[in-house]
Chains A and B, each alone.
Chain A
Amino acid sequence: MKFSIRNGRIINPASPGNQRDTIGDIAIDNGRIIAVGKLPSGFSAEREIDASNLIVCPGLIDLRAHLREPGQEHKATISSESRAAASAGITTLCCPPDTQPIIDTPAVATLIHDQAANAGLTHVLPLGALTQNLAGKQLSEMAALKDAGCVGVSNAMRPMADYQVARRALQYAATHGLSVFIHAEDPALSNQGCAHEGAVATRLGLPGIPSAAETVAVASYLALIEATGARAHFCMLTTASAVTQVARARYDGLPVSADVSAHHLHLTELDVLDFDSQCHVRPPLRTQRDCDALRQGLADGTLSAICSDHQPHENDAKLSPFSTTAAGISGLETLLPLSLKLCEDSNMDIVDVISRLTTGPADILGIEAGKLASGHAADICIFDPEQYWTLSLDNIVSRGHNSPFLNWELKGKVTHTLLNGKITYEA
């Protein structure tokens, strides 16, 4: 099918300097982009999308989205969440290995891949388990997992038995060219905590997770990464300290990267006051100072991606006293508007913001995606940057309705999403 997207503001962070933000057209044929900027002469589209006053960018890549399938289909499924992703302009999702069963065998990775293909609404890239059963003790069959389509390995939020296992896992992953996605949280320091150890947790009497839980883990892993030469990525940093550590490590040439979640860029521990379980997330919301540092780190590129850490939950999971509620926000549909908000809130350039959602995650995953270029799959997101809208229980697509951003005034609404040159969402 021949498509053309006419007259849009094309934001393509992968392009060289002055071509990253231009007005132009895009030609699509047979699922692939065949021209960016000007339509080829004689190109006649079967469908033309008028993108005047809209932004056209590569389909967004979300580094972390829990799809709940297999194992927790009462919360959500690959099909339901793919639909949510498509409505949010997201064309590639990376899902962590903590499904049930865990992605520690090729069969599970294949299952997920097949389910995603059936739904046909977004690419789903699984991360394989770093250790068997995510128990943190025995290495998983990483080579087999890679062959089955895993783009990296991770121990999700489960602790490693000790640093000896961690070191060996890093070494083993490195030999197979697999990036290790690390959730840096020391289990002993985080203990039974459920909120940032600070003024708010003290006031509410909630057991706290100190910043040290993250900074100690980051420091230790940085040392191991240096020793093993493994490529590693820190998932969802939340402390100013950790951002500084990662910046220094990158400056020293270590092959590390890091991301931040959209909610950590906008919420702090203060949002937990009144025991609002919608703000119960892991790692926890920290101080304003940390939030500022995360924004700064994102702006200067230390943090090269924004993820949603999408965690759809059934209503009951959030309906109990704070510490007993499940952590996590249903975040796919607010990923773009919350990211765009940074253009106003912290003066970030929109091209940089888009790159944190496209080229940044693509580089981290080591995939050819996140760019509008001739010959590449036509995974495209078109949105109206000026449209105000509200995410509400009436229009939320995800099965998970757990979001503290419901009824926030959001700016920036997806109008079209294309996957492999097929329209998967149209407003």
Chain B
Amino acid sequence: MTTKTIEIDPLLNTLCQTLQQQLQSRNIDNPAMIGIHTGGAWIATRLHQMLGLSEALGMLDISFYRDDFTRIGINPEVKPSHLPFNVDDRHIILIDDVLYTGRTIRAALNEIFDYGRPASVMLATLVDRSNGRELPIQPDACGITLDTKTQQHVNLTGPEPLRLTIG
């Protein structure tokens, strides 16, 4: 199985531009950003800086909200979720590294709603694996769309340096 590496920076730029367009067309001027551990958090850290957001970055660990925890078991090394802002009535940008089946995003939404009622949630992912979606979830912004087979893996490693591999 050949592994292919994809350059991150161009993807981040695309993502950033698309996000800025989205924010403008929706008239959102003070979004709060939340990154999903682990890969989404790394991406969110970069984007947070690139977009120059003033509000502190929030991090979410969705391990306890997964719908398949009973099959794969509880990951003993869960980092705590940390949202340094009130979620109520805020426009949230939710960041993840790879969107595939959509279950992670569903779990993240559930968790966010446990904290409060946001005004809106936008989804931005670095990679959209367009084959394999199991839930009606689509990104509002993404760095690249990949047509991948089930057996393939798309992995982001990091935090320094960030590397995206397909294998």
Please tell me whether chains A and B touch each other in their complex, using a CB distance cut-off of 8 A.
no
Contact surface of B with A, Cβ cutoff 8 Å: none
